[in-house]
Amino acid sequence: MSSGARFTRRLARIPPGSRVDGTAGTAGELWFVIDGTGRLEVDDHPALPLQRDRGLWIPPGARYRVAGDGADELRFDAVCLPAAAAESADRTAGTAAGSGPPLARDLLDCEVERTGDRQFRVLFGPGRGCSVATQFAGEIPPGRAPDHSHPYDELVLVLQGEGVLHLGDADRAMSPGMSAHLPPGQMHCMENTGTTTMRVLGVFHPADSPAAKAHAGST
């Protein structure tokens, strides 16, 4: 696998017993394990185990090898941060190309934060291993919140549940595995149309809080 300098998301699938080599993008990458188990080796650093609901920070330009070691396919979401993130990186925080080890953080070890009736956990962000972007997992109860926009550029992926993404005057049905790009200032709302909690994964830059809003509207 390889990544360019754009803000992109890809779903990686590693069959049991297989391995893939790659190089992280110029601004680094944020990964999240969706299913399966495996092992991650980055440059000369100690290997990191991969397991469900584990987030990972891959330093800019790092060479990595991913191996699937379980009975099932290893699946993880990988977001390549854009060139703009590299240009604004805090070099003293270990985000420069070729510096710093990879980092791993389990979702359940992250503090629960809330905004309205929705809750989220931040895996990576300022003060949490990544100064240039934020990775979080959110939980959305059944129903719809007011439309709003954010001051940052965001990629969102549905992990669990069914819903509708309202984008201004357009509606888009969402289910597990589907993703969307929300540019800064885009009015939107993710409505949970099911009866159980909807789980989403988000990555955005510049780094901020998932609760930060540029504008809030009404339903």
Position 217 scores a pLDDT of 60
| 146-169: pLDDT as tens digits | 898 989 999 999 999 999 999 988
Confidence of residue 182 (pLDDT cuts 50, 70, 90): very high
Q: Exposed, middle or buried by CB within 10 Å (0-12, 13-18, 19+), for 121?
A: buried
Phi, psi at residue 92, to the nearest 5°?
-80, -10
| 27-54: pLDDT as tens digits | 999 999 999 999 999 999 999 999 999 9
Region of residue 116 (left: phi > 0; alpha: psi -120 to 50; beta: else): left
Q: Under 8 Å CB-to-CB from 213, ≥6 apart: which residues?
A: 148, 149, 150, 151
Q: Report the length, in residues, of the chain.
A: 219
Cis peptide before 206 (omega within 30 of 0): yes
What is the overall mean pLDDT for the chain?
88
Position 65 scores a pLDDT of 97
| 98-112: pLDDT as tens digits | 458 999 999 999 999
78 half-sphere exposure, CB direction, 13 A CA radius = 25
Position 99 scores a pLDDT of 59
Asked whether the predicted pLDDT for residue 88 surpasses 90, the reply is no
CA-only gyration radius of the chain, Å: 17
Task: Give the amino acid at 167.
Answer: L
Q: Quickly list DSSP for 9-54.
A: EEEEEE-TT-EEEEE--TT-EEEEEEE--EEEEETTSPPEEE-TTE
Q: Exposed, middle or buried by CB within 10 Å (0-12, 13-18, 19+), for 106?
A: middle
Residues linked to residue 188 through DSSP beta bridges, in sequence order: 148, 167
What is the mean predicted confidence (pLDDT) over 175-179? 96
Domains of the chain plus CATH, in order, are 8-102 (2.60.120.10), 110-216 (2.60.120.10)
Asked if 6 and 82 count as a contact pair (C-beta separation under 8 A), the reply is yes
Measure the CA–CA gap between 33 and 137, rounded to whole angstroms. Answer: 12
> What six digits make up the tokens of 108?
């359940």
Range with the lowest mean pLDDT among 123-137, 178-192, 203-217?
203-217
Confidence of residue 2 (pLDDT cuts 50, 70, 90): very low
Asked whether the predicted pLDDT for residue 71 surpasses 80, the reply is yes
